[in-house]
Amino acid sequence: MRTTRYAAASVLRVGLGADLELQLGSDSRVWERTRSADAHERVHGGGDSNVALKWVLPGSNDDTQWALLARQGVLTGASDIRAERAQQDLGVSVATGDLAFYVNGTRDETGTGWTVSPSYTFLSTDSLGAYVEAGLGTGAQRSRALGTGVTWRVAPAVQLDLSVLRGFAADEDDWTGGFGVSFLLP
């Protein structure tokens, strides 16, 4: 069986203070195609949404940043696409210099699990950035993955992002890619 999925996702990030951010996200449109020897199925429609709070923890400074992210899924998707249970995440990240480390706990329709993801930024200029990352997940989040990405700030308030991730566990996505556009609103 082979499944191909495309999602047009968006996140609105609103600063609620110097160290607190509200995030409203949605897979506004999802297209999914599943093929097997017996059948072909296509579904499309609106995807699920989420609301999150990100808090930069006390003790963060120019050298080391700590942050906590709590996210709650909202079942807003079309019936063929909607999850059976809203996903909940709680993650913490730490970054120092070119190294970053992220740990996330997830509870969703398939159970609970943990993801650990280290990353290394090997290129960092005023307009370009490039990184490599790894991912290791347990439980419902079982995964083994390696990836890379590039960021390009094309203007002071506009950034483009491109990423690719290769999964190596038997029951996960083989390839995941992403393209993003970020705008800083006045």
> What integer is the mean pLDDT of 96-113?
94
Q: What is the pTM of this model?
A: 0.86
The answer for residues whose C-beta is within 8 angstroms of residue 74's C-beta and 6 or more apart is 48, 49, 50, 51, 86
Digit-coded pLDDT (tens) for 119-155: 999 999 999 999 999 999 988 778 899 999 999 999 9
Q: What are phi and psi of 63, to 5 degrees?
A: -90, -35
Give percent of the chain with pLDDT exceeding 70. 98
Give percent of the chain with pLDDT exceeding 90. 68
Q: Please give the pLDDT value at position 171.
A: 66
Q: Is the dihedral of CA 21, 8, 178, 171 positive or negative?
A: positive
Digit-coded pLDDT (tens) for 149-160: 999 999 999 999
Of the options 2.40.160, 1.10.287, 2.30.31, 3.50.50, the CATH number for the domain spanning 52-183: 2.40.160
pLDDT at 166 over 70: yes
Of 47 and 127, which is predicted with more confidence? 127
146, 117 Cβ separation under 8 angstroms: no
3-state secondary structure of 20: strand
- Which of the four pLDDT bands, split at 50, 70 and 90, describes residue 174? confident
> What integer is the mean pLDDT of 45-67?
93
CA distance 91 to 156: 29
